[in-house]
Amino acid sequence: MVFEEKKEMKSAKALIMTVTFISIAMSAESEKRSLLGDLTWRNIGPANMGGRVSAIEGVTGNPNTYYVGGADGGIFKTINNGVTFDEIFNDQDAYSIGAITVAPSDENVLWVGTGEGDPRNSVGYGRGVYRSIDGGITWEKVGLEKTERIKRIVVDPRDPDVVSVCALGREWGPNPERGVFMTHDGGKKWEKVLYIDEDTGCSDITMENSNPRIMYAGMWTFRRKPWRFDGGSKKTALYRTMDGGKNWEIIHNGLPEGPMTRIGVQVAQSDPNIVYLVTEIKDGGTLFRSDDRGENWKKVHDDARINFRPFYYSDIRVDPTNPDHLYSLSGGLFKSTDGGKEFDRIANGVHG
């Protein structure tokens, strides 16, 4: 009997303690709600994970002036060859920069594509194309707000209002706002001149300056996923237009069969018959060259080191005064002086 009474007392104490703890918890929760009641949710992302330069553009004939764009935001201008820089894009509603181009016929006209065009898993998105007509003092948003990521912009050397935009598009999902877009009136109207599908965007574009009706564009199928990415398919290909963007054709004669990864392409402006293409084709090569404006291609280099991580780099640049001098921007900076047959690494610890 005594044992049962003690047992009942213990049960009563346990019940009292439980009720007490619940009351305290409810009181604390009520107090918390009263403290937080006036607070509202706010967006604190995306996280700033850029930390890298995504675009650099110089001014022809003025080596002391150039522009630097950041993947994590901002455009910086120097007029004294890098001694000092001024931030010139702070007041705009986009932060990540993908492309900067100075109009060859008017150095005061700048075209900027927002949203980094190199699709890492930590990459910012953009809000379209911006234009300045006073060297970056003031800006105007001129469209293509849903492209999200722009890799390259080329401007007709004769007319600063005639522009082609290479839009990679949404990284994490499908969207139709990708491909090559053109304007002939400074951005008032845009026309989508090269489009494959909602999963295939433009990875690079280059223009023949002596005949701007001739352009080459790399089209690349890509999708970023949380645990991996899918890149390259039969729809990934190099296209050429000979009539200023009205008609495009695939040019692949001499390229290996099989899917390519991201395409980088550039015309040798001192000899526009010569065009270089950098990519990755399994067991097929890395760098290819055409000597007849893309009609035929031949492999000139197959060392993957010059295009380390091709989904992220695939960027080739040609000396505008010598068609055999070229640079591959990759996990390092590589230079060739013989048309791509041999490369020397000219910068260590520097990502292209």
Amino acid at position 164, single letter? S
* CA separation for the pair 70, 51 (Å, rounded): 7
Which pLDDT score, from 0 to 100, does residue 1 have?
44
Which pLDDT score, from 0 to 100, does residue 3 have?
38
Residue 117 phi/psi, 5-degree rounding, is: -90, 10
Which pLDDT score, from 0 to 100, does residue 33 have?
60
Which pLDDT score, from 0 to 100, does residue 40 have?
74
* CA separation for the pair 79, 87 (Å, rounded): 12
Which residues of the chain fall short of a pLDDT of 70? 1-37, 42-50, 350-352
Which pLDDT score, from 0 to 100, does residue 294 have?
97
Q: Which residues, other chains included, contact 283 with Cβ-Cβ below 8 Å and sequence gap of 6+?
A: 256, 258
> For the chain, give me the number of helices (H) and strands (E)?
1, 25
Could you give the residue ranges of the DSSP H alpha helices within 136-233? none
Question: If DSSP codes are grouped into helix, strand and coil, which group holds residue 152?
Answer: strand
Which pLDDT score, from 0 to 100, does residue 207 have?
98
Which pLDDT score, from 0 to 100, does residue 269 have?
98
Which pLDDT score, from 0 to 100, does residue 271 have?
98
Q: Which domains does the chain have, with CATH numbers?
A: 49-195 (2.130.10.10)
Query: How far is it between the farthest Cα atoms of the chain?
Result: 108
